Amino acid sequence: MTLIKTSVLSFIATIFKVISGLVINKVISIYIGPAGLAMIGQFQNFMDLVRLVAQAAINNGVVKYTASYKDEESLKSLFSTSMKITIIFSAIVGVSVFAFSNYLSLYIFKLIDYSYIFQILGFSIIFFSLNNLLLSILNGLKEIKTFIFINIVQSVYSLIFTSLLIIYFSFKGALIAMVTNQSIIFIVLLWIVRKHKLIKLSSFMKQFSLIEATKLSKFAMLGITSSILYPVYLIYIRNILIENVGLDSAGIWQGMHYISITLSGIVFTTLSTYYLPKLSEIESRNMIYKELYLAYIFIVPILIAGLVVVFLLKDFIILTLFTEKFLNMRELFLFQLMGDLFRVMAFLLTTIVVAKARIKIAIYSEFFFYTISAIIVFFMIENYGLIGVSYAHAISYAIYFLYGIIVFRKVTNEMQ
């Protein structure tokens, strides 16, 4: 499937996901309120960490090698090994969450009353992990229509199921929906792929391959590194803002960050769906350059147009998503959106290190970016206050874009 078709389908899927998220947040705010929303956010952060460990952070590796392998036996070895890793890690995490459900309920919610939520999570987490593993395989096989369709079904189901549970059971309903949504989708996914020529039970029954496990472990290291550095970086920014310009300003930045992540997420969904598996299978340097050129001439102009529209509608966006108390956010838009542009342009370059399994460079790149950004953020907020965080965002990603050019040339120069 071409980049254009993938982009259109991915955009549609992302729109469904964004609308679903916005509606669910609105329902939460009406039926649960700010305190409940804060607790849900706390639980969501816990779930993100637990689910990452349960998946052993190997999914990008599964996408890469599924796209790279051409013979069926190699694919079966990859599928079998990744399935065993996923089941083992999910079982360990699931049993641990179930066993410590009372403690976790007390730690997260300050009450033991919600221990049953963690027990449900302990039981259901394996289905979440298997669901994401199969989605990674579909992505690697470049079966984009099926991949996108499942994501749309997931968004629609989550919207309906979560909203109904919140309306009828309030806070408890929201928690139950969070720990069961993707488990239900896993059943739907199994039904959809039931006649697939490769995704069948026999493809997952080969012996565990130490070679495949070693390859996947490199991607696990990268996933764990990213999952630690990113939240630590966000906490760091929030703390500096609170200390220098106050809690309200930190909240305004959080709102801007949400808008930024939503916008760039639309692009990254397309790129991760098409670009990573495409670069993974290409062995020719000239073909790599051709794909990069196509991505730049198609993605970047559309992105620029979209960012301009967002900038012009910034007041409407702020008042629609938030309230008048957030209008000071408008001063952050220009440089935040500039940073988002550089971020996407850099991503187009640095994806090559994951596609070609240059994991050491990828991990080094993560440390390089967050170290440079942390220094710039500190200096800019100290000197310019709230708007300094948007200055730092633009400058950091402009530097990372230049760094991406160097990395891209280094990796491609080693190819034929």
- DSSP per residue, 352-399: HHHHTT-HHHHHHHHHHHHHHHHHHHHHHHHHHTTHHHHHHHHHHHHH
Q: Output the pLDDT for position 303.
A: 87
Gap between the Cα atoms of 301 and 297, Å rounded: 7
Contact 85, 58 (CB under 8 A): yes
Q: Output the pLDDT for position 33.
A: 62
Q: Output the pLDDT for position 29.
A: 65
- Cα 136 to Cα 121, 132, 365, distances in angstroms: 22, 6, 24
Gap between the Cα atoms of 247 and 314, Å rounded: 22
Q: Output the pLDDT for position 2.
A: 60
Q: Output the pLDDT for position 384.
A: 93
Q: Output the pLDDT for position 4.
A: 65
Q: Output the pLDDT for position 98.
A: 95
- Cα 76 to Cα 132, 142, 211, 214, 301, distances in angstroms: 17, 16, 13, 16, 40
Q: Is residue 149 exposed (0-12), middle (13-18) or buried (19+ Cβ within 10 Å)?
A: middle
Q: Output the pLDDT for position 1.
A: 54
Q: How many CA atoms lie within 13 A of 92 on its CB side?
A: 11
Gap between the Cα atoms of 91 and 55, Å rounded: 10
- Position 304: which residue type? I
Gap between the Cα atoms of 13 and 272, Å rounded: 13
Q: Is residue 199 exposed (0-12), middle (13-18) or buried (19+ Cβ within 10 Å)?
A: buried
Q: Output the pLDDT for position 243.
A: 87
Gap between the Cα atoms of 6 and 373, Å rounded: 32
Q: Output the pLDDT for position 93.
A: 93
Our CA dihedral for 130, 350, 258, 333, rounded to 10 degrees, sits at: -160
DSSP readout, 203-261? GG-SPP-HHHHHHHHHHHHHHHHHHHHHHHHHHHHHHHHHHHH-HHHHHHHHHHHHHHH
pLDDT by position in tens, the chain (length 416): 566 666 677 777 777 877 887 777 677 767 776 556 657 766 776 787 788 888 888 888 898 888 888 888 899 999 999 999 999 999 999 999 999 999 999 988 888 989 999 999 999 999 999 999 999 999 888 887 888 888 888 888 888 988 899 898 888 998 999 898 878 888 888 898 888 888 888 889 889 999 999 988 888 888 778 777 877 788 788 788 888 888 778 778 877 887 888 777 777 776 777 777 778 778 788 888 888 888 888 888 888 998 999 999 999 888 877 767 778 889 999 999 999 999 999 988 888 888 887 888 888 999 999 999 999 999 999 999 999 999 999 999 999 999 999 999 998 888 76
Q: Output the pLDDT for position 41.
A: 63
Compute φ and ψ for 20, nearest 5 degrees.
Answer: -60, -45
